[in-house]
Each structure stands twice: as structure tokens, then as C-alpha cells.
Chains A and B, each alone.
Chain A
Amino acid sequence: MIPELGQFALALAMAIALVQSVVPMIGAARGNLVWMRSAQSTALGQLLFVGVAFGALMWAFVVSDFTVVNVAENSNSLKPMLFKVAATWGSHEGSLLLWTLILTLFGAGVAMFGSNIPHALRARTLAVQAWISLGFLSFMLFTSNPFLRISPPPVDGNDLNPLLQDVGLAMHPPLLYIGYVGFSIVFSFAVAALIEGRVDAAWARWVRPWTLAAWVSLTAGLALGSWWAYYELGWGGWWFWDPVENVAFMPWLLGTALLHSAIVTEKRGAFKSWTILLAILTFSLSLLGTFIVRSGLLTSVHAFAVDPERGIYILALLGVSIGGSLTLFAARAPSMEGGGLFAPVSREGGLLINNLLLATACGTVLFGTLYPLFLEAVTGDKISVGPPFFNASFVPIMMPLLLVMGFGPFLTWKRADLRGISQRLWMVAAVAAVAALVLWYLVTKGPVLAILAFGLGIWLFLATLQDWGARIKLFRAPFSESLRRARNLPRASHGMTMAHLGLAVCIFGFVGSSAWKEEIVTFAEPGTEVQIAGFDIRFAKVESVPGPNYTAFRATLVVNRAGAFVQNLYPERRIYPVAQSTTTESSIRHTLAGDLYAAISEPAAETAGDVWTLRVIYEPLVNFIWLGSFMLVLGGALSLSDRRLRVGAPRRAKMPEMAQPAE
């Protein structure tokens, strides 16, 4: 009964979306306030009914209702409750429902909290949002119904892919989707502005909190996802340039660019058409990700079960939404007037470089991700594009970005005094250079590029601190005054400082764990000893331990350093009889200086008895990645809590001087 209610709720949500996609649009065109305001109630109605459907599916998972195909295929009565709940979004159908739920959540958010937005813009935005949810609701109801029944029902379910039975997984898709799908509302704002034919500073102000909210959760989702890969998959790495990782990363890159270009549009009225284009492209990349994951177009570890019919449907959806919005952009963008003039060295100029670099980096990742497909289509050759391509192309693009980021906050609008800034920053540059040289002296192995990147990280860190210190006159004024200044500084400013520092901290982690990593893979039996990064590790024993829906082989590794006992590590190999698969449960000694990571896998040969493949990795500074990601998220959240984003549009003391278009 409950699954049928869920299906009924979905159908109702689709009917409401249909109304919402037409009525507010006509209302906005005719100036009919009642029709415009109807969007607010329908947006809430959509959220309600999609929420009911989602709840119904979750209920089916919680009570293990195996008459529902989706539950039978992805759950099992022995599974811990947390993972039963998480299995709701573990399959293609369920995750699509989550997608739609978040889509309607953002629509309802604008309906509830967007009271400062003009009625016409809000109505059009919600109508565009309804077009998207119409596309996805119809996709779900016609090709991927999560509530299909099965008869006769199986006695027990197939179990969720054991790799996905981890707390990291329970959290990471919802967060990733909030970010991913959250950009939909920014897209809707952009399309609404194009339809309206007006983009101004106020528009950028309204859009920014939504961009920021989506960006914050996308950052958190990406960080959690890579943490999950690192911790759960036993691959001894946190990023693999897998197509599906790339398609989640590309919206982040463009979203970051959007966040910065929207500032220019808001403060200076420039970059208007560029900001709109970024808003459209960011969400287009989210859609592209959905398409790639669900169409089986590229080979990836993340792919869902593939169905060509679904692929065609999403491709059509992509064609209409991306093609349509970009055509609209092509028609309207030339008529958008440019903003104020600025000198090449100015905050506008700095943010322009930021945008160019981020967009180029994103283009590089896009090209690398799709290149195997292009090549196969043109020549029939099958190749894979892996980390070497991305390390050689993406990393060098990001390094100048770090350099410019150090200067960025010091630049003033319109025209900046480069000499003055250099005078304030030369100490920082000198310290970073010396630190890099010392590092080069200490660390002999690893590429020179790594030393350079590390030095740039130090530069960014110190330059950001210097900027913050200058703003609150730290050490230049009495401490009480600095404190007062820090309190009065807008939260967005603290947020920027925190996020930029976070990126610098991430860089330390990225460089340390990829350039100076040590790894040993060996066949081990009780008594085997290995040495890595100053640790002596003895493989003591392997024993069999039962778990709730698996059996584990648990190894005991005794870790010593300089003859003194440090701790034991217990990596596990888990065997899931129902799902007929195995997973690696790594054991990690976390310290800020680096992680000592151990994993075991199957005996090298069945007859070999107690021989295991032991993998020990030392990843220096890897925890800085999560620390830095946390700081990025915190910075975004601080900025989001700035009250200036909640109050109305900015008021200008005087109108900006209109001059030649500067775009």
C-alpha cells in the first residue's frame, strides 16, 4: 500500500510541476500577481509530494518490503539499519528520486526565503525550476519507476553492493547531490534573467547565496567522497581522475568561477553575460554528470546498471535544457550592456584571471574525460585517459591560480597599485621561496613541480594571513582595536580568508600525499617484516571474525618505530556471502604528519595457505586534505551567514559611471 502511495505522490508532483511550469510564466508576462505567486505554493506542493514519495521508498527499505523490485535488488534483511536507509539512494531509481527531492527542495527554498526577489523574477525562476523537475519526474515515472512491484516476492534481497556499505557512503551522495543539484536554482535564475532580458547587480546579489549554498555542499560532498575512496576502497589514494569523479569535480571548478564572477557583477556591474554563461554551464555539467553515470557511456567504477532507453531519455533532456538555454543565451547576451571600466591590474582583472584559469582547468578535465569517447568515435581506438594526463595538464593550470590568489585580496576595484602591493607582499614571497628551497634541500625525491606547488601553497597561506592581518591591523594597533575590527569585518570577508587558507592547506595535503608517498606491496605471512618511512611493521597473524552480514579475515600488524612499540593495525578482508563479493577494510594510523595505511587482500594462491598480499602505504600530510576541505566548507558557510546576503539588493551611493563596455 505504502509504495503505491509513493507512486501516486510522484504522479501528483508531476502534475503540480506541469502547472508550475506554465502558470507563473504567463503571470510574469502579463503582470498578473496572483498567477506569479501561485509558483510559491506549487513549489512547496512539489516538495511535499516528492518528499512523500521519498519517504515511502525509504519506508519500503526500512521494513525490507521485498515485493518492491528496487528493495529486493538492493537490500537484505540482515543489513544494519543505517545501510537499509542509505540503500534508498544506493540504486539508480532511488538516487534519481533523491535528485528530484533536492531539486524541489531548492525550488521550495526560493519560494520560502526569496521574499526580497521581485515577483516576476521569482515566478520565472520557479517556472524554469519546474521545467527541470518535470523532466526528471517524467523520466522517473516513465523509465525508472522506483516503486515497481515483483510477484512472487523473493524470500530475501540481493543486498546492496558491499563497497557501498559504509558511513561515508551514507552521507556522501546526499551532500554531493545538494551541491550538484543545487546549481539548478542558479541555472533557473540565469534562464529567468535571460527571459526577462535584464541582468543587474541586484540579480547577482540574489543569486549569490544560492550559489554559495550549492558550492558549500558540493565541496563537502567531494571531500567526503574522496575520503570514502581513501578509507573504504583500500586503493590507497583519494582521487583517481575517474570519469565520475571528474564530472562531479567540473561543476565545482565552474561553480567556484561563478562564485567569483558573480562578485564582479554584483559590485561593479561587469562580466554580466559571462556570469550568466557560467551559471548555465555549471548546471549543464551537473546534468552531464547525471547522464554519464546513468548511460554507461564511459567505463567507470561508479556506473549504475545501464539501460540504453534511459540514456536516450536523459540525452534528450540534456539537449532541451542545455541546448535551449544556450540558444537563449546566444540570442540575448549581445544586448546585455557591459559594466564599469577597469585597469588590467585591479580586482576585476584578478577575478578575470581566476575565471579564465578555472574555466580552462574545467575544459581540460572535460576534454580528458570525454577524449576516449571522441577517439573511439573517430578512429575506433580504445584508450583510457588516466592520472598522467591530468597531472600534466590540470596541475600546471592551477599553479598560476595559486600565485594570483595570493595577490587577489590586496587588489582594489577599478585600479590597483601593483607597486604598493608588492611592497606589502615581498616578505611573504621571500619566506615562501626560502621555505621551498629548504624543502628542496630536505626532500630529495619527488618532482620539482611538487616543491614549486608546495612553495605556492605556503605563499598563498601567508599572503592570505597578511591580508587578514592588514584588515584588522593586527600588531599595528592595540590588540583590543584589532579585536574590534575583526568583529566588524563582514563575515563574508572572514569566509574568504578561511576558504583561501583552506585551499592552501589542501595543497599541502595534495602535494605531500602524491609526491612523497611511500608504498610497499608484498606477499606476507605471519612473521613477515617490512620497513616503511621509519616504521618497522611485523605481520603477526590473521584470524577469522564474524560480522553481521559478512565474515572478516582480520590481520594483526605490530607497528614499531626505533624499537619502541607504536600501535597495532588491524586491516580486514570482508566476505559478503549474499552479495558474493569482498571488500577491503583498511586500517590506518592517522597523524597530522601522515597516515600509515595497511590493507590486505586474498591469499596469493589458494594452496599457499597463510600467504596474503599486504599493502602498506605511508601518505605524508594526507590529513591536510580533509582539514583544508573542512576550512573551505567553513569559509563558505561563514560567507553564507553574512547578513548582507540576507537583506535586500545593494544600494549604491552613486550610479557607476557608464563607459565603454569592459567585457
Chain B
Amino acid sequence: MQRVLVMLPVAVVIVIGGFFLWGLNPDRDPNAIPSALVSHPAPAFELDAVDGVDVPGLKTADLAAAGEPVLVNVFASWCVPCRAEHKVLTRLAASEGFPLFGINYKDKPEAARDWLNELGNPYQRIGSDLSGRAGIEWGISGVPESFLVNAEGTVVWRYVGPIASAQAQDELRDALAAARAAGAGS
């Protein structure tokens, strides 16, 4: 028994070493995340609704199903700038009349629910991205981050950080107008 036991450290080290050898593959870049999606179709993802929040979950098909440009906003209750952004998005969604979809990134459902109860819920759909997997598919670099997806389901605009400053709001309005014009023209 003891003979087997003393072999254990070597065995563990060999296994870990194997992983390291694989990890050193020069083609692998640990920092790489799927690149910005602008002018590409929205990535494939499917997220369940947040427990205790009475709007449905979010998946790729929902984006095109809206039939008009939608804003996908990645947010989390632990993200402080999201709080600043929330008020602005609520107002813009109402005044500009676009559907607002949310991806609740790496957040506890109950925390997200409390946060929405406190601040109000402007989102028509919210997908719960507990593992952060959808966040990687979307290639987010942080929270909050927002993507404008046109009626065909193509990402047309991306904004990193809170949409709160006057400049960011203008950018969103311009992108929205362009997307609507292109949609009406085709």
C-alpha cells in the first residue's frame, strides 16, 4: 500500500506535466477570445431565463425574430458602472423604442433579481450566463458591454463600457438610425 502511495506524487506530476506540454503549443493563445463581431452574425448561444425574473431567456434566434434592430446589453449586479448605465438604457429604450435584451453575466440569479427589483427591469428578455460562456462567444472584454444587432441578426455596433456619457448615447442613436435605414431600404 505504502509503495503505491509514494508513487502518487510522481503520477500527479506526470499528468500535470502532460497538460503543460499541451498548453505550450505555440498556436494556442490563452489571451485570445473570439474577435469583435461587428458585421458578423451574432454568435450561437442559448441562455435560460434568470430564476425569479419574469422575462424569458435569450438565444440567437430571438435576435432576428424581433424583426428590428435590438440592443443586447451584458450586465451584472456586481458591476458598478452597470448601475450608472441602467438608468440611461431604461430611458433610451423607451424614447428610441428599441427592444432591449440582457445577458446577465456571471451573476447569482437572486442577486440579479434583487438588482432588477430595485432599479426596474427595462429588458424584454434576459439570459442568465452563469458560466460566462456566452460572454466569451460574444467576445466581451468586460462588463458592461453592448451590441446592436440588426433585423437580420448581424452585429452592427459594439460599445465597451457603460453607455452613459452623451457621446456614447449619440453613438448608439446614430448606429440605431443607420441600422433602421438599412433595414427599411432592403
A residues apposed to B, CB below 8 Å: 273, 277, 280-281, 284, 291, 295-299, 308, 311-312, 315, 318-319, 322-323, 326-327, 329-330, 333-334, 370, 373-374, 376-377, 381-384, 519-523, 604-608, 611, 613
Partner of B20, one of A284, A297, A605: A297
If A296-B30, A299-B31, A330-B10 touch, does A604 touch B24 (CB 8 Å cutoff)? no
A521 near B81: Cβ-Cβ < 8 Å: yes
Partner of A383, one of B22, B80, B132: B132
A-B contact count (CB 8 A): 93
* Residues on the B chain within 8 Å of A312, using CB: 24
A297 near B136: Cβ-Cβ < 8 Å: no
Is B52's CB within 8 Å of the partner chain A? no
Other than A295-B20, A326-B9, A333-B2, give 4 A-B pairs with Cβ distance below 8 A.
A315-B24, A330-B10, A523-B84, A607-B166
Instruction: Please report the total number of B residues contacting A with Cβ < 8 Å.
Output: 33
* Complex-state Cα separation, A290 to B81, whole angstroms: 36
Min CB distance A209 to B, Å, is: 26
Find residues 160-185 in chain B having any chain A CB closer than 8 Å to their own CB. Answer: 162, 164-168
Partner of B167, one of A295, A326, A606: A606
* Residues on the A chain within 8 Å of B84, using CB: 521-523
Find residues 125-173 in chain B having any chain A CB closer than 8 Å to their own CB. Answer: 131-133, 136, 162, 164-168
Binds A, one of B11-19, B36-44, B65-73, B115-123: B11-19
Min CB distance A529 to B, Å, is: 16
A381 near B23: Cβ-Cβ < 8 Å: no
* Complex-state Cα separation, A386 to B100, whole angstroms: 29
Interface centre among B3, B9, B33, B133 (most CB of A within 10 A): B9
* Residues on the B chain within 8 Å of A295, using CB: 20, 23-24
* Complex-state Cα separation, A323 to B19, whole angstroms: 15
A330 near B9: Cβ-Cβ < 8 Å: yes
* Residues on the B chain within 8 Å of A315, using CB: 17, 20-21, 24
* Residues on the A chain within 8 Å of B165, using CB: 523, 604-605, 608, 611
Min CB distance A541 to B, Å, is: 20
Min CB distance A377 to B, Å, is: 5
* Complex-state Cα separation, A87 to B75, whole angstroms: 40
* Complex-state Cα separation, A315 to B20, whole angstroms: 8
B131 near A383: Cβ-Cβ < 8 Å: yes
Enumerate 28 A-B pairs (CB-CB under 8 Å) in ascending A order: A291-B20, A326-B9, A326-B10, A329-B6, A330-B6, A330-B9, A330-B10, A333-B2, A333-B6, A373-B19, A373-B23, A374-B19, A377-B19, A377-B22, A381-B133, A382-B136, A383-B131, A383-B133, A383-B136, A519-B80, A521-B84, A523-B164, A523-B165, A604-B165, A604-B168, A607-B167, A608-B165, A608-B167
Min CB distance A388 to B, Å, is: 8
* Residues on the B chain within 8 Å of A297, using CB: 20, 23-24, 30
Partner of A273, one of B6, B33, B162: B6
* Residues on the B chain within 8 Å of A382, using CB: 33, 136
B132 near A370: Cβ-Cβ < 8 Å: no
Min CB distance B128 to A, Å, is: 15
A605 near B13: Cβ-Cβ < 8 Å: no
* Residues on the A chain within 8 Å of B164, using CB: 523, 604
The digit string for B69-101, where 1 denotes a CB below 8 A from any CB of A, is: 000000000001100100000000000000000
B residues apposed to A, CB below 8 Å: 2-3, 6-7, 9-10, 13-14, 16-17, 19-24, 26, 30-31, 33, 80-81, 84, 131-133, 136, 162, 164-168
Min CB distance A246 to B, Å, is: 14
Q: Give the 3 A-B residue pairs with the shortest CB-CB distance, closest first.
A: A605-B167, A605-B165, A521-B80
* Complex-state Cα separation, A613 to B30, whole angstroms: 30
* Complex-state Cα separation, A605 to B171, whole angstroms: 11
* Complex-state Cα separation, A373 to B166, whole angstroms: 41
Question: Nearest residue in B to A607 (C-beta to C-beta)?
Answer: B167
* Complex-state Cα separation, A330 to B10, whole angstroms: 8
* Residues on the B chain within 8 Å of A329, using CB: 6, 9-10
B6 near A605: Cβ-Cβ < 8 Å: no
* Residues on the B chain within 8 Å of A299, using CB: 30-31
A384 near B24: Cβ-Cβ < 8 Å: no
Question: Nearest residue in B to A281 (C-beta to C-beta)?
Answer: B9
* Complex-state Cα separation, A605 to B131, whole angstroms: 31
Min CB distance B146 to A, Å, is: 15
Min CB distance A62 to B, Å, is: 34
* Residues on the A chain within 8 Å of B80, using CB: 519-521
B14 near A323: Cβ-Cβ < 8 Å: yes
A370 near B16: Cβ-Cβ < 8 Å: yes
* Residues on the A chain within 8 Å of B2, using CB: 333-334
* Residues on the B chain within 8 Å of A523, using CB: 84, 164-165
B6 near A334: Cβ-Cβ < 8 Å: yes
* Residues on the A chain within 8 Å of B19, using CB: 370, 373-374, 377
* Residues on the B chain within 8 Å of A333, using CB: 2, 6
* Residues on the B chain within 8 Å of A322, using CB: 13
* Residues on the A chain within 8 Å of B136, using CB: 382-383
* Complex-state Cα separation, A270 to B59, whole angstroms: 60
If A326-B10, A604-B164, A605-B165 touch, does A308 touch B20 (CB 8 Å cutoff)? no
* Complex-state Cα separation, A396 to B162, whole angstroms: 36
* Complex-state Cα separation, A605 to B160, whole angstroms: 12
* Complex-state Cα separation, A277 to B2, whole angstroms: 14
* Complex-state Cα separation, A607 to B165, whole angstroms: 9
A605 near B166: Cβ-Cβ < 8 Å: yes
* Residues on the B chain within 8 Å of A613, using CB: 81
A326 near B132: Cβ-Cβ < 8 Å: no
* Complex-state Cα separation, A655 to B66, whole angstroms: 85
